[in-house]
Amino acid sequence: MGLFDDDFYSPKVSRKALKEHLGARKQGGWRRFRLKNRKSLQLVLMSVIATAVVITALYGILFGFSPTKKLSNLDLSARAVHASDTIRPAVVSIINEQKFSLDLNGGALEKDSEENGVYKEAGVGSGVIIQKDEQYAYIVTNFHVVSTAHRVKAVLTTGKRLEAEIVGMDQITDLAVLKVDAKGIDYVAEIGDSSKLRAAEFVMAMGNPLGMGEAITFGVVSVTRETVPVSLGQNGVLDWEQEVIRVDAAINQGNSGGPLVDLNGRVVGINSMKISNFGVESIGYAIPINNVVPVVEELMEKGYVSRAFLGVSMIDLQQYWSRQQLEADAESGEDSTLNLPKEVYEGIIVLEASGPAKEAGLTYNDVIVKLDDTKITSTRDLRKYLYSNKKIGDEIVVHFYRGKQLMKATVTLGENKPES
């Protein structure tokens, strides 16, 4: 007896069972053959496709080729064209006109001069229409584009020239709002969100470079948020810091005030300045639109931006020393005019005190060295502390030297209302 003596495990097969088995195989054999080969064919096809993908990827890595590269470029170009077409009707050119004397000198007259003269184009810039009501359309541009103008004109993309009125200006943020007759203006730019910008994102700078008419430059966001020192008086003294977006899209004279636009056709910034030193290329700056909007709203409401007001005309102590070139005093460690202690070499000289500062006792030649507990070394420091930390009506402790004596005064801050 074998190990497998029962019928279930027995290796012995009867002729009848074998015949029945072979008959069943003849009937279903072709079906099983087709099923088996279909699965094999699918495996082969999948292997071929996978191999092709791998080879293409390796080829792209080695030779810089991508089968979707051309398609991506076409898509990028189409988006840029669509975005520019969308916003173009809202982009305007700004013309700064000043009145010049009719005499032989032909110099520019003061704004409030009643002398007869002739208006001439003194500068160009750009702007963007951001709001419209039944009567007026409102345009955002830069402060430095219109601050010296005796009158302003806005030129639409259709070539139509409109008389523009300055609604409000703010030197600190370099922004201004104009208004023009709304008749015939049908489009207002869509405002984006500058906080969502990413480095290497494509953007367009639009405006009127060099007065040559509307133009578009294309580039990427280099830095999404950067702080750069600026000279508010355009005199080379860096007395403020501006938060900006850095881009490599060309921004030339005349582009100032125009929109920085994303590929959805939305305004994400207002073009403001560029670095034009020798050897520097494609470094431009735009004011983030998220910073622009609250300033514009306040300019439209009040005509100015309300900030805390200390009431001092000032100059940096170091700037004063460099101007006077007091070499002898520098060697001795003291300044004979101000009579300061030798350890005091940074601070702010009060040239004139008015309003809150005058009421608190500050006067000419006082040298401010600290506000509250914050050391102040420059005009930039003073403005930054004042505008960032204080509100109208707050008290501030001013520490200052009057000669060699360190003194302090508590000032109740006022409001910086513009002179009427």
pLDDT in tens, 172-190: 999 999 999 999 999 999 9
- On the question of a common fold for 88-181 and 191-302, the answer reads yes
Residue in 84, 126, 144, 366 annotated catalytic: 144
Q: Express each pLDDT in 215-224 by its tens digit.
A: 899 999 999 9
Verify whether residue 144 is a known catalytic residue: yes
Residue in 194, 256, 272, 378 annotated catalytic: 256
Answer whether residue 1 shows pLDDT above 50: no
Answer whether residue 333 shows pLDDT above 80: no
Residue in 84, 126, 170, 174 annotated catalytic: 174
Cα separation, 247 vs 261, whole angstroms = 11
Look up residue 136 and give its amino acid: Y
**35 burial type by CB count under 10 A (0-12 exposed, 13-18 middle, 19+ buried):** exposed
Neighbour count for residue 379 (Cβ, 10 Å):
22
pTM beyond 0.75, yes or no: yes
Q: Residue 8: helix, strand or coil by DSSP?
A: coil
Work out the pLDDT band at 67, boundaries 50, 70, 90: very low
Work out the pLDDT band at 52, boundaries 50, 70, 90: low
pLDDT of residue 348: 95
Pairing of strands 284-288, 308-309: unpaired
Superfamily per CATH, domain 88-181: Trypsin-like serine proteases (2.40.10.10)
Cα separation, 69 vs 267, whole angstroms = 28
Closest to 294 measured CA to CA, from 183, 130, 135, 408: 130
CA distances for 408 relative to 114, 199, 378, 396, angstroms: 46, 46, 18, 10
CATH topology of domain 191-302: Thrombin, subunit H (2.40.10)
| Segments making up each domain of the chain, as ranges | 13-59, 88-181, 191-302, 308-415
Is CATH 3.30.420.310 what the domain over 308-415 is classified as, yes or no? Answer: no
Verify whether residue 75 is a known catalytic residue: no
Cα separation, 367 vs 407, whole angstroms = 10
Pairing of strands 266-274, 190-191: parallel
Answer whether residue 30 shows pLDDT above 80: no
Verify whether residue 21 is a known catalytic residue: no
Q: Express each pLDDT in 287-303 by its tens digit.
A: 999 999 999 999 999 99
